[in-house]
Amino acid sequence: MRGRGKPPAAPLPQRDGIGPVRVRMPEDPDGLWGCVRDHLLDRFAGAIGAQRVDAMLAEGRFVGADGGAVEGDEPYRAGRFLWFHRDFAPEEPVPFPVGVVYRDEHLVIADKPHFLATTPRGRHVTETLIARLRRELDLPELQPAHRLDRLTAGLVLCVVRAGDRGAYQTLFRDRLVHKEYEAVAPYDPELTLPRTVRSRIVKERGVIAAREEPGTVNSESRIGLVEHRGTFGRYRLVPATGRTHQLRVHMNALGLPLVNDPVYPVVEPEPEHVDYGRPLQLLAKVLEFTDPVTGEPHRFESGLRLSAWPDR
């Protein structure tokens, strides 16, 4: 087998905070691809159409390692790398700014607003936290060390240099980051708090809601009531693990579904237009850790507030 080695650096700059797509031409044991165009049609025509592939070739959109445009009739060569920029579908701008709580040569601690995805995925590409920050701060290598759900607001630890990312991701993997969340949900005077909730949470690909089921416990959350006003309470949530939707699932299991949660207890139909006036009342409020690069202790607190619990 031919060794792959490390791919060369992308010859194209980012566009709208998103890097180019890299294509490695695979081995062709059946001799199906006589030229570059044959392979590109086989690979991409089903997704974007043969006419679009041909148009991109004609426009010089596919480039080689030297940055020069690739011609469709060039002979096919396995192992060759090509790059191109995707066509981004129009995205509705999320009408809230991204805050920066802290920045140094290694880190950016961002305050992500509700409704903004952390990383490009699916319908959300250029309107994401990382794409925005790369553009606004001129930090093309910026990457998140962890993620927040699109509907959750609050602190996200981002790494300035790609080479440092593993060290900060290890903090989260090894549970060396103390995280605190704030939430607004119904108040139940009969429920004894604080308490620790442990359960097995399963999230299936393609299914919006996660669920609890019998079996080995894989999630743990500490849930406490900070204060209550009438029928609603403000809660402090401290996850010991990081399962998808963990805090929302655990609060719902206690009979305390978060205010404006479109998934728990019932999955609501996706609206035609986003109602930015009804954000999920969940905020990643505190991040505390020892920096694995500098050795410095850090504690950061979000400057955002939950709209269902205004200051009085």
CATH number at residue 288: 3.30.2350.10
For residue 135, name the pLDDT band (cuts at 50, 70, 90): very high
- Contact predicate 142/163, CB 8 Å: no
**Both 140 and 261 in a single domain?**
yes
**Both 128 and 63 in a single domain?**
no
Query: Is 13 within a domain?
Result: no
pLDDT at 298: 97
Query: Is 11 within a domain?
Result: no
- Position 5 pLDDT exceeds 70: no
Burial of 115 (0-12, 13-18, 19+ CB in 10 A): buried
**Both 254 and 288 in a single domain?**
yes
Query: Is 130 within a domain?
Result: yes
Taking residues 128-153, report their average pLDDT: 96
**Both 130 and 39 in a single domain?**
no
pLDDT at 4: 56
pLDDT at 130: 97
**Both 162 and 35 in a single domain?**
no
**Both 204 and 281 in a single domain?**
yes
Taking residues 44-48, report their average pLDDT: 93
- Position 47 pLDDT exceeds 80: yes
pLDDT at 1: 41
Query: Is 89 within a domain?
Result: no
- Position 3 pLDDT exceeds 90: no
Give the rounded percent of residues in the chain with a pLDDT score beyond 70: 98
Question: What is the average pLDDT score of the chain?
Answer: 95
Query: Is 145 within a domain?
Result: yes
Query: Is 14 within a domain?
Result: no
**Both 149 and 172 in a single domain?**
yes
Nearest partner of 105 among 139, 79, 72, judged by Cα:
139
Taking residues 23-27, report their average pLDDT: 95
Query: Is 105 within a domain?
Result: yes
- For residues 244 and 4, which has the higher predicted lDDT (pLDDT)? 244
- Position 8 pLDDT exceeds 80: yes
Query: Is 59 within a domain?
Result: yes
- For residues 310 and 279, which has the higher predicted lDDT (pLDDT)? 279
What residues make up the domain containing 69? 21-84
Question: What domain count does the chain have?
Answer: 2
pLDDT at 278: 96
**Both 212 and 130 in a single domain?**
yes
**Both 67 and 131 in a single domain?**
no
Mind listing the pLDDT tens digit for each residue in 205-244? Answer: 989 999 999 999 999 999 999 999 999 999 999 999 999 9
**Both 232 and 281 in a single domain?**
yes
Taking residues 117-137, report their average pLDDT: 95
Give the rounded percent of residues in the chain with a pLDDT score beyond 90: 92
pTM of the full predicted structure?
A: 0.90
